[in-house]
Structures are given as C-alpha cells and as structure tokens.
Amino acid sequence: MTRLDGRVERGNRTRQAVLRRTVDIASVEGLEALSVGRLAGELRLSKSGVFALFGSKEELQLATVREAARIFAERVVRPAEETPAGIGRVWRLCELWLEYSRGRVFPGGCFFYGVIAEYDARTGPVHDAVVHAQRYWTALVERTIDEARTAGELRPDTDVPQLAFEMVALMETANAVSVLHDEEGVYRRARVGIAARLRGAAVDGVPVPRAD
C-alpha cells in the first residue's frame, strides 16, 4: 500500500509539473501548441509517461484549461471574496484581475483572453470549456456588482450587465495592449475608466476608490 501511495504521489507531482508548463505555453502559443512529445522533451519525461497522465491531446488541453481556472481562482476570485460585498469588493475584484494580467501570472497575459480568441469559432469539448470559463467570469463580475446594488451602494436602476460588460472590456483591452506593446501604463487607464463608471453608478455619498 505504501508503494502504491508513493507512485500515486509521484504521478500527481508529475501531472502538476506538466500542467504548470502547459498553462504557460498555451497562454503564449495557444492550446494547439501543446503536444506530448514537446512536454516530454522539455520536462525530461517519457512520452508514454506523459500520455498515461492524460490519455489524449484533447484531455491535455481540457486539463490545462482547468488548471488555469484553478490558478485564476487562487489569484483573483478568492482574495476578492475576502472584501465585504459592495463597491469595495467590485473594485478589489477588478484590481486583482489587472494585477493578475500586469504581473504576468501567465507569460502571455490573461490565459483566457488568448484561448477565447483561439477557440471562439470552433466546436467541441475544449471550446465548451473555454465558454464555461468566460461565462463564469462574466457572471462573477455581474454578481459582484449586483451585490453592491443590493447593499445600497449602487443606484437601484443600475444596469448590471451593461456595467459589467464595460468593466470587463476595459480590463481585457488593458491586457491586450499591454501584451502587444509591453506597456504598463494602460493598466492605469483601465483603473481610471472603471473608477469613473463606478462613480457614475454609485449612490450619492458612497465613496468610490480613487484610481491614482
């Protein structure tokens, strides 16, 4: 039993090492760039060993999307939830996302921004996994804004989906321009834009964080 547990543990460590590499590759080159042979060569593993961990290229791609989602939740979602519901949590969520992109948690910037462009017009399980991740993020931003409205910090007539759409657009544009031009100033522009939209929707007297 001890020997079996040891093999399982080694297998889990190897799988995690492979996935740490695949999310980095996919964020720069796309999910189609992943291959068992490449990973085996870069990580000095056997092809059969890598294949045994995933079984197919598609499962490798799906596992990579799941790993990226786990890292995203760890760096953005869970820390934001530590802030009480309201404008402060909305702002914190956006700040964490911008820092996740600016800090290059993935070398290609936001992992999902890249793979959405790669798979938006395709069909199949990988496309569906990417769609699920995008819908989750949009729903999370909308829910966080709606919580602020329910808390009485945003006006009752706030168009939650519209505000969420505009804020996500600002964040994604900052990510795209920064990656393309290796420029950090665009993150401040996004923060200024998000603060302005929150200020415009806030109830009179409710403080909105400054983007300085």
Q: Split the chain (212 residues) into runs of 10 and give each run's mean pLDDT.
A: 62 89 96 94 90 92 97 98 97 98 97 95 97 97 98 98 98 97 96 97 93 75
Angle at 29 between CA 23 and CA 35, to 5 degrees: 70
Please check whether the domain covering 56-201 is classified as CATH 1.10.357.10: yes
11-58 pLDDT, tens digit per residue, is 788 899 999 999 999 999 999 999 999 999 999 988 998 989 999 999
Q: Which of 188, 10, 58, 178 is nearest to 106 (CA)?
A: 178
Model-level pTM? 0.92
N- to C-terminal Cα distance for the chain?
58
Scanning the chain, the segments in alpha helix (DSSP H) are 2-29, 36-43, 47-54, 57-72, 78-81, 87-102, 111-119, 125-150, 160-181, 185-201
For 59, other C-beta atoms within 10 Å of its C-beta total: 14
Q: Which residues pair with 202 in a beta bridge?
A: 154
Query: Is there a contact between 21 and 39 (Cβ–Cβ < 8 Å)?
Result: yes
- Cα–Cα distance, 160 to 145 (Å, whole number): 6
